[in-house]
Chains A and B, each alone.
Chain A
Amino acid sequence: MERRLRGVDGDANYQLNLEDALACAAHDIVVFVDAARGLSRPFAFTEVRPAAGLPAMSHALDPGTVLAITARLYGKTPEARLLAIRGHSFAIGEGLTRKAEGNLALALAFLEAFLKGVRK
């Protein structure tokens, strides 16, 4: 996506953490993308707001908490979305199923259109 669209940066993380607040603060729009269980459609695209209360803390953070830290630490509140892409098999060592590959293609096409729309 970042190769196809100017002004878009991509970052891949195993889990979100403190320093992701720095990246969020440096961008106007942030889209968190992850595989999802329990979705009935190929993908869901929802707004994410800074968490009001802090959820259970461990070494990993959720998107709302990263945004809360971004707001408190850097005074920035980027427009944020969560793109949840339906997965079908989460067994250890499995690659993407054909259905998941289809969901991914649909989700990325949607995201590309969304980002192009934002640029306009």
Chain B
Amino acid sequence: MGRKITIEPVTRVEGHGKVTIRLDDAGKVTQSRFHVVEFRGFERFVQGRPYWEAPVLVQRLCGICPVSHHLASAKAMDIVVGTGPGHLTATAEKIRRLMHYGQMLQSHALHFFHLASPDLLLGMDADPAIRNVIGIIALDKDLATRAVLLRKFGQEIILATAGKKIHGTGAVPGGVNKNLSPEERDRFLKGPEPLTIDRMIEWSQGALELFKGYHRKNKDVIDGFAEFPSNHLSLVRKDGALDFYHGVLRAVDADGRKVLNDVDYQDYLEHIGEETRSWSYMKFPYLRALGKADGWYRVGPLARLNTCDYIPSPLAQKEFETYKAYTDGKPNNMSLHTHWARLIELLHAAEVIKELLCDKDLQGTKLVKKGRRAPEGVGLVEAPRGTLFHHYRVNADDQITMANLIVSTTNNNEPMNRAVHWVAMNVLSEKPEITEGMLNRVEVAIRAYDPCLSCATHALGRMPLEVSLVDASGRVLQRKVR
């Protein structure tokens, strides 16, 4: 009799989803699916609300990257108030960037130290009771302390620029509502120790060294795990540089050929389609030029370092060169190298924060600009987990009449399914016994993409996730719920 595996919830993942793996009578995997079983509601919720409320309202989709939603929505509403990209005041643009790079710092630090490092440093087969942040504290207290302080520093940057650590109000249509005071700037630049930007740069470098050291000793674990070819999509600056806040849309295929050549994201609907499948609430985006079957793509740190030509900060650029050399300059399709890419981005975020803190424009007083009203706007940012699309239409009474959000985790829907399938085929298939460590590898594959399922389903509230093993008759043989 065949079998089916279900894992729910996948731990250390934000939101609620479910993995189902079906086995035939011989224990061979016949199907694997990563589904999201939560209702999406946010796009309808914002309909009828005044447009200026959107940047504040939409952040409530997410407790971990609210700044991304805040800024993507504000960028869309910039278009609506007639102040499109490149037309904000220098102070507004740089304050938003500082907010965004602060978020990138805290989110990437949280993911690596808190969610990913237990699998690497304690082992994928370690006792689940210690394979967590408490295990990391026991293993290396200094490392855990640095994780806490990197998170705190990023949150403090967000607090100083957005007004609140969570669900701030700093970005408004056409600009921002506050600048950075000299006192705030000096606190980040000069102390009190250890919460200074120089220390954050040093610790980001330390995190990279930690990963590279682990990688040198465990290439067999890291390199082959959930490796599969894909397209990659992200924003890049017009000159091809890595940019988390603004740019043009670029996609490359598994060999590095451009399949979306630096297009204006206001036209994203011409280039990106969204497919629905009956077994998941989460849609499956694809590049229209390649079609539904071949047009799926990855987003996030791995994709960004595959699409960009260089990183515009010296320390991260040096790391980028080493990283690119590892694949001879070709796109990197190894899922666990996402952690490597994420840590290079962590370092880049810290470097950019320092550069911005030293920029006098942050103390400027011209905060908002407005122009000719438009009925529609699209805003994109590179969120920690990847490209985030916000699209709104607004009527003459200033009410939102349509909202479409494509979040990073939705963009990574097919890649996460492919990663789960890789584990199902390479780790679980035809094994006489399914161990906890094997099931954890399913989660490791998903966690590499750091999904936020509450964002992806546009839902509010708590959403856990499960994995099940099911036989050919539909009987659940193993179910993982934590």
A residues touching B (Cβ–Cβ < 8 Å)? 12-15, 17-19, 21-22, 53-60, 68-69, 72-73, 90, 92-93
Q: B134 on the interface (CB 8 Å rule)?
A: yes
CA distance A58 to B9 in the complex (A): 10
Interface size class of B (residues with CB under 8 A): 35 or more
Q: B440 on the interface (CB 8 Å rule)?
A: no
Q: B96 on the interface (CB 8 Å rule)?
A: no
The answer to whether A58 touches B137, judged by C-beta atoms less than 8 angstroms apart, is no
10 sampled A-B residue pairs with Cβ under 8 A: A13-B166, A14-B66, A17-B151, A18-B147, A19-B152, A54-B132, A56-B482, A60-B14, A73-B141, A93-B45
Q: Say whether, besides A22-B148, A53-B129, A72-B138, A15 and B63 are in contact (CB < 8 Å).
A: yes
- With a cutoff of 8 Å between Cβ atoms, the chain B residues found around residue A92 in the complex are 41, 45, 460
The answer to whether B167 touches A14, judged by C-beta atoms less than 8 angstroms apart, is yes
The answer to whether A57 touches B132, judged by C-beta atoms less than 8 angstroms apart, is yes
Q: Say whether, besides A59-B14, A92-B41, A54 and B151 are in contact (CB < 8 Å).
A: no
CA distance A54 to B115 in the complex (A): 13
The answer to whether A73 touches B137, judged by C-beta atoms less than 8 angstroms apart, is yes
- With a cutoff of 8 Å between Cβ atoms, the chain A residues found around residue B148 in the complex are 18-19, 21-22, 73
Residue of A19, A22, A55, A59 with most partner-chain B CB within 10 A: A59
- With a cutoff of 8 Å between Cβ atoms, the chain B residues found around residue A12 in the complex are 164, 166
Q: B226 on the interface (CB 8 Å rule)?
A: no
Q: Say whether, besides A12-B164, A69-B134, A73-B137, A56 and B11 are in contact (CB < 8 Å).
A: yes
The answer to whether B137 touches A57, judged by C-beta atoms less than 8 angstroms apart, is no
The answer to whether B45 touches A14, judged by C-beta atoms less than 8 angstroms apart, is no
> In this complex, what residue of B is CB-closest to A16?
B63
Which residues in chain B, 141-189, are within 8 Å of chain A measured between CB atoms?
141, 144-145, 147-149, 151-152, 155, 164-167
- With a cutoff of 8 Å between Cβ atoms, the chain B residues found around residue A15 in the complex are 63-64, 166
Q: B74 on the interface (CB 8 Å rule)?
A: no
Q: Say whether, besides A57-B115, A93-B45, A18 and B167 are in contact (CB < 8 Å).
A: no
The answer to whether B166 touches A14, judged by C-beta atoms less than 8 angstroms apart, is yes
Q: Say whether, besides A18-B148, A69-B137, A92-B41, A13 and B452 are in contact (CB < 8 Å).
A: no
- With a cutoff of 8 Å between Cβ atoms, the chain B residues found around residue A22 in the complex are 148-149, 152
- With a cutoff of 8 Å between Cβ atoms, the chain A residues found around residue B144 in the complex are 73
> In this complex, what residue of A is CB-closest to B135?
A54
Q: Say whether, besides A13-B165, A17-B151, A19-B151, A57 and B66 are in contact (CB < 8 Å).
A: no
The answer to whether B133 touches A59, judged by C-beta atoms less than 8 angstroms apart, is no
A28–chain B nearest beta-carbon distance, Å: 20
- B2-23 vs A, CB cutoff 8 Å, 1 = contact: the mask equals 0000000101111100000000
The answer to whether B45 touches A72, judged by C-beta atoms less than 8 angstroms apart, is no
A-B interface, 3 closest residue pairs, ranked by CB to CB distance from nearest = A14-B166, A19-B152, A56-B482
The answer to whether B167 touches A57, judged by C-beta atoms less than 8 angstroms apart, is no
The answer to whether B45 touches A59, judged by C-beta atoms less than 8 angstroms apart, is no
A56's contact among B9, B57, B114, by CB below 8 Å, is which? B9
CA distance A55 to B461 in the complex (A): 18
A100–chain B nearest beta-carbon distance, Å: 17
CA distance A58 to B450 in the complex (A): 10
B188–chain A nearest beta-carbon distance, Å: 16
Q: B37 on the interface (CB 8 Å rule)?
A: no
Q: B300 on the interface (CB 8 Å rule)?
A: no
